[in-house]
Amino acid sequence: MSAACFDERLEQLGYWAAFHKHLIIELFTTLRDELGEEYWVDVESEIILVPRPAGPARSASPDVAVTQLSQSGSRRPAPGADVTPVILEADEPIGELEENWIVIRRRDWPDPDDRLGSRVVSIVELLSPSNKGVFGERDFRKFLSKRRDYLLSTVSHTEIDLLAGGTREFPHAVERLSEFPLIVWSSQVQETSRHYWAWGWRTDESLPTFVLPLDHPRICSVDLSACYERAYQSNHWPSRLSMVR
């Protein structure tokens, strides 16, 4: 694989969750090194529970589980419970996924409401299947609500979508991106408007170098192709995928 290529098997074979973390790390390292001392760059995360996707996922269990088994091994209500007999009992596998995004803070702009004490000036989202509603409408709506909050604020916002699956919903300014399978768009509040940049490309085309906006009027550029290549090669994805039958 060359730096200009994109490997669709990462999503198709269920390995996107693992590769997502590797690419986030490369984006974080690139931004941290490029932005220097004036900005703080952090990876923030939250854990969500979803129906287990294809591919590796760690199951989640409660801290305490109480189950009484009959002699036949089937689950029964605890003694004394007055319960109508069930029609069936079933278990659905649950996966635990970690959502990650990048937060850029201006270190010399104090913000007492921020947990690290400095103002957030830019957010970078590398979309996951849950962001696109693959595991349910609720996750998709939660993501859109978070995006809406960013776009109504003074924070700059960047989205990278390298997934074929799931649902997309675009701000009006970048609706033309619906023509492309792979996209990046970013936006920044300026004096009288929010300005947008957008890139779309096919899976056989080179990944772009895109504008990542900071606090107006500052911007930086990110070579997505180089970040993707480092994440792909340094974590041995060609070898990993060659072993899949």
Q: Residue 61's pLDDT is what?
A: 34
Confidence of residue 73 (pLDDT cuts 50, 70, 90): very low
- Residue 58 — pLDDT band, cuts 50, 70, 90? very low
Tokens representing residue 114 in the block: 């921020």
Is the distance from CB of 7 to CB of 1 less than 8 angstroms?
Answer: yes
The token pair at 7 is 């490997």
The answer to whether 194 touches 188, Cβ cutoff 8 Å, is yes
Q: Give the per-residue pLDDT at 109.
A: 86
- φ, ψ for residue 231 (rounded to 5)? -60, -40
Q: What percent of the chain is predicted at pLDDT more than 70?
A: 79
What's the confidence (pLDDT) of residue 71? 43
How far is the CA of 172 from the CAs of 105, 149, 187, in angstroms? Answer: 27, 16, 12
Radius of gyration from C-alpha coordinates of the chain: 22
Reply yes or no on whether the pLDDT at 83 is more than 90.
no
On whether the CB atoms of residues 208 and 176 are closer than 8 A, the answer is no
> In the predicted model, is pLDDT for residue 168 greater than 80?
yes
Instruction: Work out the mean pLDDT of the chain and round it to a whole number.
Output: 83
Q: State how beta strands 75-76 and 68-69 pair.
A: antiparallel
* pLDDT level of residue 169 (50, 70, 90 thresholds): very high
Query: Looking at 57-66, 79-88, 217-226, 234-243, which range is the least confident one?
Result: 57-66
Mean pLDDT of 33-51: 80
Report the pLDDT value the prediction gives residue 178, as an integer from 0 to 100: 95
Return d(Cα 11, Cα 186) in angstroms, integer. 23
Q: What angle do CA 191, 44, 36 make, to 5 degrees?
A: 60
| Spatial separation of the C-alpha atoms in residues 198 and 200, rounded to whole Å | 7
pLDDT digits (tens, 9 = 90+) for 101-148: 899 999 888 888 877 778 999 999 999 998 999 988 988 999 999 999
pTM for the whole structure: 0.79
Q: In angstroms, what CA-CA distances link 89 with 50, 74, 76, 77?
A: 20, 9, 10, 12
> Cα(first)–Cα(last) distance of the chain, in Å?
19
